[in-house]
């Protein structure tokens, strides 16, 4: 497990596991990612940057999403997709769940992951790698506050995040577009 210290200007948790609970974070870089057009032949995606989505709009949609989908692969290379409740805070997407779940076991073996959401008229897909980390009380309180705005009827308990069970998904790239004008808004984001 990676126990490197991260600069205080990045969203990071000192994470842990109690009662087999796991927290996952999709940690976005502080600086906005570089936006370009995705290569999707035959769909009329223009080469010009006009109409591309700003990263701030994508972040707002991630923050307002009621649920997220994560995809991992098992040891035979088969995909595994599951819905997760979560909180998007300061450029990071947080999840929790049992450490003995299939997705957690998959991530322990292979750190590649994808996360997807449909929110505010946007389709958003993130691809990256996980880093297992150890949380911070201020961030734990922010996660709890975010959950309170969601339709879950559930309040996470920070004691379930004790023991190096927080996972930071470091995005490599993301894709997003508005459903109503896919062709003109399709945007690829690359993270430094």
Tally of CB atoms within 10 A around 192:
8
Delimit the domains of the chain by residue range: 21-190
Strand-pair partners of 122: 119, 178
Answer yes or no: is pLDDT of 22 > 60. Answer: no
Strand-pair partners of 27: 92
Tally of CB atoms within 10 A around 164:
17
Residues 32-58 pLDDT 10s:
899 999 999 999 999 999 999 999 999
Chain-centroid distance, C-alpha 60 = 13
The pLDDT value given to residue 17: 39
- pTM attached to this predicted model: 0.81
Q: Phi first, then psi: what are they for 91, rounded to 5°?
A: 80, 10
Check: CB of residue 50 under 8 Å from CB of residue 125: no
Residues 136-185 pLDDT 10s:
888 888 888 998 999 989 998 888 877 766 666 778 899 999 999 999 99
Interatomic CA distance for residues 135 and 163, integer angstroms: 9
CA dihedral defined by 109, 84, 126, 7, rounded to 10 degrees?
A: -80
Interatomic CA distance for residues 9 and 92, integer angstroms: 12
Residues 56-113 pLDDT 10s:
999 999 999 999 999 999 999 999 999 988 888 777 777 887 788 999 999 999 999 9
Looking at domain 21-190, its CATH architecture is: Roll (2.30)
- The two tokens of residue 189 are 């984001």
The pLDDT value given to residue 25: 59
Burial 7-37 (b: 16+ CB within 10 A, else e): eeeebbbbbbbeeebbbbbbbbeeebbebee
């Amino acid at each position: 497990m990676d126990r490197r210290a991260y600069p205080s200007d990045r969203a990071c948790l000192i994470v842990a596991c109690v009662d087999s609970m796991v927290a996952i974070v999709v940690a976005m870089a502080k600086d906005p990612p570089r936006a370009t057009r995705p290569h999707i032949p035959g769909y009329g995606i223009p080469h010009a940057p006009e109409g591309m989505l700003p990263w701030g709009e994508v972040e707002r949609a991630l923050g307002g999403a009621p649920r997220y989908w994560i995809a991992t692969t098992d040891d035979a290379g088969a995909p595994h997709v599951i819905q997760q409740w979560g909180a998007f805070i300061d450029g990071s997407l947080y999840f929790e769940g049992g450490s003995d779940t299939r997705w957690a076991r998959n991530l322990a073996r292979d750190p590649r992951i994808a996360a997807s959401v449909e929110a505010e008229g946007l389709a958003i897909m993130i691809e990256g790698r996980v880093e297992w980390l150890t949380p911070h009380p201020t961030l734990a309180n922010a996660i709890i506050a975010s959950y309170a705005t969601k339709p879950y009827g559930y309040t996470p308990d920070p004691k379930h995040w004790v023991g190096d069970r927080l996972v930071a998904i470091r995005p490599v790239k993301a894709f997003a577009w508005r459903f109503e004008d896919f062709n003109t808004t399709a945007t690829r984001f690359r993270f430094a």
